[in-house]
Amino acid sequence: EPAVAAFNVIKGFLNLTIASSAWIELLNVIHADEQYGITAVDDNSPLVMIEYSSPNTNKPLHLGHVRNNLLGNALANIVMANGNKVVKTNIVNDRGIHICKSMLAWKLYGNGETPESSGKKGDHLVGDYYVSFDKHYKAEVAELMKGGMTKEEAEAASPLMNEAREMLVKWEAGDPEVRALWTMMNNWVYAGFDETYRKMGVSFDKIYYESNTYLEGKEKVMEGLEKGFFYKKEDGSVWADLTGEGLDHKLLLRADGTSVYMTQDIGTAKLRFADYPIDKMIYVVGNEQNYHFQVLSILLDKLGFEWGKSLVHFSYGMVELPEGKMKSREGTVVDADDLMEEMIATAKETSQELGKLDGLTREEADDIARIVGLGALKYFILKVDARKNMTFNPKESIDFNGNTGPFIQYTYARIQSVLRKAAESGIVIPAQLPTGIELSEKEEGLIQMVADFAAVVTQAGTDYSPSVIANYTYDLVKEYNQFYHDFSILREENEAVKVFRVALSANVAKVVRLGMGLLGIEVPARM
């Protein structure tokens, strides 16, 4: 079979027409591979570690964390699909003054309230006390200012803030009572986080805690000081001079010996490198930390970490809601749990209005609402270039038309319905489709698009870009819908053509499922 069916030369351009048989052979190759476009991992594959989420244990996860978690999870899937071993990791910021604030407020105003007694998720309960601390503190400052102090004086004199600072000193010294309170409240928060992660569909292979890593970081910094990489000031603080690298002087340990974020990141790196033979390290952290990671890369390289120089800061922009959309408990930050609940409720409502849940059991309808609601949220966030600031619009994200998760999910469900009817009518897709069929330009174009998936996965891996996969999947689905509209599938008279179109549909669905899977999005079998 010649692959070129015809050619002509127009104005110096050679136009080739690829024979239908060559396109069908290409479809046969794709059809034979259940994991088309995905590179398998073996023992020799490089190990990439991806850090994402990084929450504080004084409040629940919010909209910014949602973008972070979804990007980190999708990135892990994409890096793995490109033939790398992946370790998904999280560093929990579980110590510091902000943690002591919620602890102190609970101790003073909590009356022994627990998640069990209040019926609240642990992370929400602790978050409420963080807010409560702030309220009491502001009231104290206002009271002291009434008595004639300036704002600065009042803040310095606040008994509540001073008590929180004392608590931190006691924590650092290992005071048993403070440590017991800390452990109890952190465990409440972790139980809450786990529930949120589970609902969001993200997970971690290994979690590190700042309370374990900051001391390791101090040790590494002292070692760097001995080797002359760093210097000490009169007051005892330790600094790195990075003027040679075109940056400035960077604080590594405060005069009182307490560590800063940079110290903790060095300590975490040390522990991770002891645990895993890391070839590459990717940090999913907001773009306000761009400078921090420039510095961290230089310091880790100086301290002898092989992947220090080439570490990747996967930097992403802010995400906000349109004005007046959802107010949260604190009145400013949108809570991740509330947002997911709202998305699922909206999906249920929208699906009901459109009659997409007719004839389903209550469980089936609930499951579809969950799949569609979370799919809408994830897709809307992941289709945007991560570096850009964005507005997440819940209403727009759940539209069943346009560049949305539900539109893609609905098309997938539609193809599944075609495949079920085909199977019922006795159609079996052979392992090898016969090549003697004449294809339309539309059908050839669709095979070409399905085949492109492999290159798209590679590009998404090279550029660290989930949005490439999201937008490709939308284009594929749009193209399929036009084909579905213009061509008969099950009512096609010619048996060979009918089987070909069923096979083409099945492979479009497969690639949609794989693509959405890389984004962490489920697709429903019916809708």
Tens digit of each residue's pLDDT (9 = 90 or more) over 89-140: 999 999 999 999 999 999 999 999 999 999 999 999 999 999 999 999 999 9
Q: Torsion over CA of 90, 94, 97 and 100, rounded to 10 degrees?
A: 150
Q: With pLDDT > 70 as the criterion, what percentage of the chain qualifies?
A: 96
| HEC profile of 255-280 | CCCCECHHHHHHHHHHHHHHHCCCCE
Averaged pLDDT, 367-387: 97
Cβ(257)–Cβ(266) below 8 Å: no
Tens digit of each residue's pLDDT (9 = 90 or more) over 465-504: 999 999 999 999 999 999 999 999 999 999 999 999 999 9
pLDDT attached to residue 331:
54
The larger pLDDT score, comparing residue 6 to residue 490, is at 490
Task: In whole angstroms, give the CA distance from residue 14 to residue 265.
Answer: 57
Task: In whole angstroms, give the CA distance from residue 113 to residue 118.
Answer: 7
Q: Torsion over CA of 73, 78, 79 and 82, rounded to 10 degrees?
A: 160
Question: What pTM does this model have?
Answer: 0.93
Evaluate the CA torsion angle 184, 190, 192, 194 in order and state its sign. Answer: negative
Q: Give the angle subtended at the CA of 204 by the CAs of 200 and 210, to the nearest 5°.
A: 110
Q: Which residues contact 244 (CB under 8 A, 6 or more apart)?
A: none
